[in-house]
Structure 1
Amino acid sequence: MHFILVFDADNTLWDTNSVFHEAHVAMLEVFEAAQLLSDARRQVDRVRDIDRALIRHFGRFEYGFKNLATAVAYHYRHQADPSDAAAYVLERGEQALDTPMRTAVEQAYRTHTHALTQIPPLFPGVADLLGHLRTYRDANPHLATAIFSEGHPERLARTIDAYNIERHGYFNEIVIELKTAQAFERVRDIGRQCLDVADGDDVVTIMIGDSMQRDVRLANEAGFTTVYIPGSFEGRQVPQTELEQPDFEIERIAELPSILASLGLHLPGR
């Protein structure tokens, strides 16, 4: 039996949500200083609502955060509904704001961008799991591991470098591109190439991620086995379609080895 393990990165291996939370607070503090709002730290949910509206429009989580800063400013200046603020700003851009607000938007955007350079912490159990996977893979030609993320390449590169992920050889491949069912199929093909398997060989390809839409559904479409870990950004999701139903659900990544063992992959020391 051959195995390909594909991990989402943000909010699966490391807590990106905590970094974005503080970046949103930093943005709001700029607008608080511009007297658009008060008690910035209590306003993050409003920013998240606007962020989600923009994500729906662009079809990805990182879409150019000048749009977010502009929409947040418009929301507070005109008391607009978060989704309406996002839509209006997408139609008119910064023309929706007066000159003083454009200055505040630029400062808020730069502050937000700087805050995103912070390195997110690994989730408990991740470093231990990656070490066990590498030990198993080094001694066993039947396992390949990959990261598949659609996060911003420069931001991901900082985190990957901070934890020496490439230097320690934790993964055979790191793929950064927009997630689609076809992209998942390509990732599976990359894993098969790493394993050097023949067409008839039995290969189990497993996706581990925190999003039922971007990880579970698309991986299911590509024929993966799927493992869902609820994350702090999306929260615990409920499947809306059969394709969003994961094969397994766990609370934390430290529980993954038991799932792998049930599928026939027994890691050393577990």
Structure 2
Amino acid sequence: MENTYLFTDADNTLWNTDAVFAAAQLDMLHEIERITGRNAPADEDRGLAFLRNLDQRIAAAHPDYLRYPPGLLAYGLALVLDGKEVEEAVARVTDPGIGLESGFEAAQTRFIDSIRQLPPLREGVREGLIAISKADISITVVTEERVERCRQFLAGHRLENMITDVVSVRKTTEAYVDLRRNAATGRYFMVGDQMDRDILAAAAAGYSTFYIPGGFAPYWASELDTSKTKRIDRYDTIVPDVLAETD
């Protein structure tokens, strides 16, 4: 019988980070509107789409991807609200020779404090992890966030005893290959909400994948092929497939 290994993303897969981030991002936008005296375009989401367009374009240009310092978003928002084109604002805030202007450090601190709150679990997560851990299947959380933050949220939801390891890594096919090298021969599963980082990169490394759409998807992933992964709406849907490999 082959060994079975489950690897899982955390943000917007185990818990609904998007709701927490949306509130923090809107708070940042409104603070920058107050500072600049200018308002974002009025729409039904109170400016969230406006902000996230800039956020994704900064992430695409920054070496730290979505983990770039949030103060750069505050700075970029101020530039765009002041009339700069998005491309010009992105180039300025991601220029390593410029850095973060001191006036936006407070916005960065406020944002970081806001996203520290415990996000709610997604449907079926507790039930799914309990069933899989009871089958003595190794469960590894693969995140691009800090390990300490992830472990804090696992502990907050009383899930830590079911998790074998937490790994923080830039998610590439090579990274998933390395994770396989650290385990014995067997069957590997990956669950995630991002088609590029979680699904396609893992599939290219030989993992069976489950795609669980979250509340946030970057624009560059909108046209990626989802036909070769199993789409699920709640986490515990993965249980029959994973446990079937242990029978």
Q: 1:252 maps to which residue? A: 234
Is 1:24 matched with 2:5?
Answer: no
Contact 2:13 2:212 in 1 (8 A): yes
The amino acid of 2:13's aligned partner reads T
Contact 1:74 1:89 in 2 (8 A): no
Structure-2 change in CA distance of 1:122 and 1:18 (3 Å): same
Q: Secondary structure at the match of 2:82?
A: helix
* Structure 2: 5+ residue stretches without partners: none
Q: How far apart, CA to CA, are the structure 2 residues paired with 1:4 and 1:94? A: 42
Q: How far apart, CA to CA, are the structure 2 residues paired with 1:212 and 1:156? A: 21
Once the two structures are superposed, residues 128-157 of structure 1 have per-residue CA deviations (whole angstroms, 9 ceiling, x without a partner) of 1111122121xxxxx222111111334323
Structure-2 change in CA distance of 1:21 and 1:106 (3 Å): same
Q: 1:264 maps to which residue? A: 245
Q: 2:211 maps to which residue? A: 228
Q: Secondary structure at the match of 1:223?
A: coil
TM-score, normalized by length of structure 1? 0.79
Contact 1:70 1:93 in 2 (8 A): no
Matches within 5 A, 1:112-131: 112-131=111-130
TM-score, normalized by length of structure 2? 0.86
Q: 1:64 maps to which residue? A: 69
* Structure 1: 5+ residue stretches without partners: 138-142, 198-202
CA RMSD across the alignment: 2.6
Match of 2:197 among 209, 214, 217: 214
Q: 1:186 maps to which residue? A: 178
Q: How far apart, CA to CA, are the structure 2 residues paired with 1:257 and 1:81? A: 47
Q: 1:110 maps to which residue? A: 109
Shift of 1:122: 0.7
| Larger Rg, first or second structure (1 or 2) | 1
Is 1:52 matched with 2:56?
Answer: yes
Contact 2:69 2:108 in 1 (8 A): no
Shift of 1:94: 6.1
Shift of 1:90: 2.1
Q: 1:240 maps to which residue? A: 224
Contact 1:46 1:82 in 2 (8 A): no
The amino acid of 1:82's aligned partner reads V
Contact 2:189 2:242 in 1 (8 A): no
Q: How far apart, CA to CA, are the structure 2 residues paired with 1:50 and 1:172? A: 37
**Higher relative contact order (Cα pairs below 8 Å, separated by 6+ residues):** 2
Shift of 1:258: 3.5
Once the two structures are superposed, residues 101-150 of structure 1 have per-residue CA deviations (whole angstroms, 9 ceiling, x without a partner) of x53x233222211111111111011111111122121xxxxx22211111
